Structure 1
């Protein structure tokens, strides 16, 4: 008995010491468990975030690869090679933009939209000169005519002349604006509609009610004054509207107002294309235009243009609509405005003036 009692710790210290030991060690054990749980949680969180980043990067690379595949296989440009010194990233370029009124119910090659754009990779700026469709052109080597009739005339002569209408237009417009034109892109009405629809519409501010109907070609314009988001059909009506035959009649519009509206829509589309939503819809836009677009830009050049100008600021895009005097059936261009337009293009190409958005 004495031996067993002697082997036990004193009563006064034993239980208290035991409880004191437990009180000291228990909190330490709990603290260690909390730290382990916290580290484990943050480790999992970091792993999840890293995986999301990796997926985003891979998705971005996959989408970029998809776009490159579309350019290579989609027939949007030519397969010709481009010298590195001629790429959009290396030198200023000019482009003629034509919008034809060709559509299923009304086949035609008249150009309702005539624009010439100059782009400079160093200043990341662009100038877009637009001309009224009824502009009277008197140019050496060409018959006097409305500017919108030349493309159709060149198209009709392609078989006999052996020169494409697109090349003829580049030569003529280059001579008219005193600038060498590198490329031309032609988009018809349906292509324009499809682009707007694929981007989810376009935001504009309609200055007045617009109403016009034409049962022959299916035109049915009925737009109300005020801010609006237009689908492809309505956006086309907006840029085409000229006069009213409704009752009551709405205020008419001339070629100069049409050019302003064209610039307004183009400016809005630039912003939408640069948004995340627009970026993700590029593939669908390219599918949509399909056979409704013609261009002589090389595939390699298209890629360079996207890489160089994709994030160009809208403030660095100058829209220069040239106006004049309307004397039926022509618009006689103001010589001073035409000269200013030529100088604006030259200044952008030379990098001597930063572009600013035209109101």
Structure 2
């Protein structure tokens, strides 16, 4: 694919923001941070069920998830490039594909690095409204680049129908990965795109999760059929309820609003609940439905052989081995301007994970986010 697209025109003065820029934070509920949970689900679920590689039920879903055969035979992974031999990095995109919104925004964007020597990972999340300030790219919110690259891919190809769609998706994945490689300063190998419905399906496949709801939560939006209605207290939530629990920011039905800090705490709580449930015997019996949930909602450009390598390499990884670093910044309409100190911490953490010897071993803490802040 050509790397010289009209989207990259950031030299000199910046272009004015598009009049169709999305609303400031707080106007609409976001998917924010859902990918954080789904990423952990993918890592833990696949690792926990690696034994199923020796049976046949996993193969149809792996075929769905993996890089598709290009007609030249099985996509091979060269010796020295396998996940068990070298660190790898992925771009993880949470794509809003709801028919009600018609959006292709990647409202959740993360860069994840994995190290086979230390069996650890670092996951950096990027706020959806961030201005990355990258030379050579038109100024826009970071969540809009994938859709812009997709449109450019459709424009550039002479293919039609499904082939044109697949080409444009591949173009968007490649361009997004290269852009974030430049932004983070590391070489990123692959891209994974996850539909938000995967979160709901995974929780349901596990039979729900037990959490403590910290306050009454009520929010209704007829546009996207959101209906959050939770009462304070410990309870078991199904997929849709858990989605509402981690999404909740504000109310239009008289309940108290929620801060980003509180949402982070709820995200960590759900992550722990998912981890606990997946380690239980009852969840092992649900492996087929769990793999179906992943297979139906995730697409990657990772060869199937490399996915198997990842599974085998990171068998048994714990959430304490995953360092989560959410970037922060200051909102000044229409962008979030990232905190340079926090960004430097994130870049250093990713570089450490990509070092063949891995990152320094830290004393485990009770919170993934607390561990990240201590680095």
Larger Rg: 1
Q: If the length of structure 1 is used for normalisation, what is the TM-score?
A: 0.74
| Structure with bigger RCO (C-alpha 8 Å, 6+ apart) | 2
Q: Contact 1:263–1:319 at 8 Å: present in 2 too?
A: no
What is the distance in 2 between the residues matched to 1:71 and 1:214? 33
Q: Name the CA shift for 1:120/1:141 in 2 (closer, same or farther; >3 Å).
A: same
Task: Tell me the equivalent position of 2:46.
Answer: none
Please state how far the C-alpha of 1:257 moved relative to its aligned partner: 5.5
The answer on 1:84 being equivalent to 2:79 is yes
Task: Tell me the equivalent position of 2:154.
Answer: 159
Q: Name the CA shift for 1:258/1:144 in 2 (closer, same or farther; >3 Å).
A: farther
Comparing both structures, which one devotes a greater share of its residues to helix? 1
SS in 1 for 2:369: coil
What is the distance in 2 between the residues matched to 1:253 and 1:112? 18
Of 181-190 and 289-298, the range deviating more from structure 2:
289-298
Please state how far the C-alpha of 1:340 moved relative to its aligned partner: 0.2
Q: Contact 2:64–2:296 at 8 Å: present in 1 too?
A: no
Q: Contact 1:191–1:289 at 8 Å: present in 2 too?
A: yes
The answer on 1:323 being equivalent to 2:328 is yes
The answer on 1:186 being equivalent to 2:181 is no
The answer on 1:171 being equivalent to 2:178 is yes
Q: Could you list the per-position Cα deviations for residues 199-227 of structure 1 after superposition, in whole angstroms to 9, with x for gaps in the alignment? A: 22234444433322111111111233344
Q: Name the CA shift for 1:323/1:197 in 2 (closer, same or farther; >3 Å).
A: same
RMSD: 2.6
Q: If the length of structure 2 is used for normalisation, what is the TM-score?
A: 0.71
Q: Could you list the per-position Cα deviations for residues 111-143 of structure 1 after superposition, in whole angstroms to 9, with x for gaps in the alignment? A: 222111111111011111112222222211112
Q: Structure 2 matches for 1:1-359, cutoff 5 A?
A: 64-70=54-60, 74-78=63-67, 79-161=74-156, 164-246=171-253, 248-254=254-260, 258=263, 261-262=266-267, 264-266=269-271, 268-350=273-355, 351-354=358-361, 356=364, 357-359=368-370
Q: Name the CA shift for 1:175/1:129 in 2 (closer, same or farther; >3 Å).
A: same
What is the distance in 2 between the residues matched to 1:168 and 1:90? 26
Structure 1 alignment gaps of length 5 or more = 1-59
Please state how far the C-alpha of 1:198 moved relative to its aligned partner: 0.7
Q: Name the CA shift for 1:63/1:345 in 2 (closer, same or farther; >3 Å).
A: closer
What is the distance in 2 between the residues matched to 1:62 and 1:320? 32
Please state how far the C-alpha of 1:293 moved relative to its aligned partner: 1.8
